[in-house]
Structure 1
Amino acid sequence: MAHLSHGNDALLARVRRIGGQVGAVERAMQCDSSCAEILQLVAAVRGAVNGLLDEIIADHLQAHVAHPALSDAERAQGAEDLLAVIRRYAK
């Protein structure tokens, strides 16, 4: 995904924050935290991952589907790649 290189540092920072959130879930489970607390932590992780996915999808659309310099074949491939991800996510 070379097109992500322009914002790679910001995306990597988001991934690291998500990793920290996942670690918080693990620690909460090891410390016998309440179900409500663990659910809140898991919901926060899910929201963070969804936000990351949204940003990468938007970048993919701009670079691999909507970019005016793309050929029809490149657009079709970009759309096919995105559709595969959406189908996997929707399961």
Structure 2
Amino acid sequence: MSHTIREKTKLINRTRRIRGQIEAVERMLEDEKSCAELLQVIAGVRGAINGLMSEIIEDHILLHVADADLAQNDRNEGAAELIDVMRAYLK
């Protein structure tokens, strides 16, 4: 995943925030918090994971999937369309 190096710090920080959210879920379970509270935090974790995955997939599409032989505009349009579909799926 050498293409992620340019955003390595950003991705690591996102991962650390997700780790904090997971640790919060663990603490809530240990403290026997209500289901509603737990579900709200778990939904936040799921959103954070989906956001991270979306970012990684978007970079992968732009750098590895889009056809480099196409004209730049055609390549950008095709990649943008695939990214839009992926984002809609991950919501």
Fold equivalence (TM over 0.5): yes
Normalising by structure 2, what TM-score? 0.73
Structure 1, unpaired ranges of 5+: 70-85, 87-91
Give the secondary-structure state (helix, strand or coil) at the position aligned to 1:43. Answer: helix
Structure 2, unpaired ranges of 5+: 70-85, 87-91
Aligned residues: 71
Q: Confirm or deny that 1:18 pairs with 2:25.
A: no
Q: Indicate the RMSD between aligned Cα atoms, in angstroms.
A: 1.8
Matches within 5 A, 1:60-79: 60-66=60-66, 68=68
Q: 1:35 maps to what in 2? A: 35
Give, in whole Å, the separation in 1 of the partners of 2:12 and 2:21. Answer: 14
Cα separation, partners in 2 of 1:67 and 1:12, compared to 1, 3 Å = farther
Normalising by structure 1, what TM-score? 0.73
